[in-house]
Amino acid sequence: AAPAGVDPVALAQTLAEVQRWFWEDPERHRRERIDMIGAWGKIAARALERAGGAGDGLAAAMAEDFAARRRAAMRLFPDTLDVLARFRRRGVPLGLVTNGDARLQREKIQRYDLVRFFDVVVIEGEFGLGKPDAEVFRHALAGLGAAPAAAWMVGDHLVWDVAGAQRAGLRAAWIDRRRGGLPAASPARPDRIVHALIELSDLG
């Protein structure tokens, strides 16, 4: 709920505007995403200030509420567990490389017991570096005992997942779940484009 004297519709619009501004700066994005609840608190505080509200306590509460709503809404894509299980049964070494807040990412992994499928898990908030830094991919490959040329990176972010992996010597598959196609000014050219994980069952 909006604080007294603040129009909730205007506050929602201001939150959206501040959020876009906050995340559009690449360096701020890299720096702040390792503490997402803290970042959401900063966004809420700035939006409240612009909308005529006040109070760091309220901003922190809004951030925690937003985090709780995101947790409640979080779902795996329907094919995820089936595809991971198929790779596991075939003995394909798997690594999970993800950016962001270590606590929130570990919550996701534990919620769905994903660690059982992966030989290596690299989280930016724990490792200290994130995608698209080539060192992240090298670290994961070292843990898997795999050479870059023999490995695939699968992800939905053209810069972090595709371009980053290719610079480290891996091949990269881009998941275009929305079927929007590769942008004309794409920052990378994937080695493969799929619309669902199930289409990658032949890898490995």
C-alpha distance across the termini of the chain, in Å = 50
pLDDT of residue 7: 84
The pair of structure tokens assigned to 5 is 């004297």
Q: What average pLDDT score do residues 9-25 get?
A: 96
Could you tell me if 20 and 91 lie in one domain? Answer: no
Could you tell me if 64 and 112 lie in one domain? Answer: no
Cis peptide before 187 (omega within 30 of 0): no
pLDDT of residue 8: 86
Top pLDDT among 59 and 4 is at 59
Confidence of residue 106 (pLDDT cuts 50, 70, 90): very high
Q: In this structure, are residues 153 and 97 in contact, taking their beta carbons and an 8 Å threshold?
A: yes
- Beta-sheet strands, E only, within the chain: 95-98, 120-123, 152-155, 171-175, 192-194
For the chain, the domain total comes to: 2
What is the spatial distance between Cα 101 and Cα 7, in angstroms, rounded to a whole number? 32
> Which tens digit of pLDDT belongs to each residue from 182-196?
999 999 999 999 999
Could you tell me if 111 and 189 lie in one domain? Answer: yes
Q: Which of 45, 73, 101 is the last residue of a domain?
A: 73
What is the bridge-based pairing of β-strands 171-175 and 120-123?
unpaired
Could you tell me if 69 and 107 lie in one domain? Answer: no
Could you tell me if 161 and 193 lie in one domain? Answer: yes
Q: Which of 73, 98, 116 is the last residue of a domain?
A: 73
Residue 1 is assigned to a structural domain of this protein: no
Query: Domain residues for 175?
Result: 80-200
Token look-up 């089936």 returns: 82
Q: What average pLDDT score do residues 133-152 get?
A: 98
Residue 37 is assigned to a structural domain of this protein: yes
Residue 2 is assigned to a structural domain of this protein: no
Residue 90 is assigned to a structural domain of this protein: yes
145, 148, 143: which is closest to 127 by C-alpha? 143
Report pTM.
0.90
Residue 189 is assigned to a structural domain of this protein: yes
87, 43, 78: which is closest to 62 by C-alpha? 43
Could you tell me if 137 and 196 lie in one domain? Answer: yes
> Which tens digit of pLDDT belongs to each residue from 34-57?
999 999 999 999 999 998 876 668
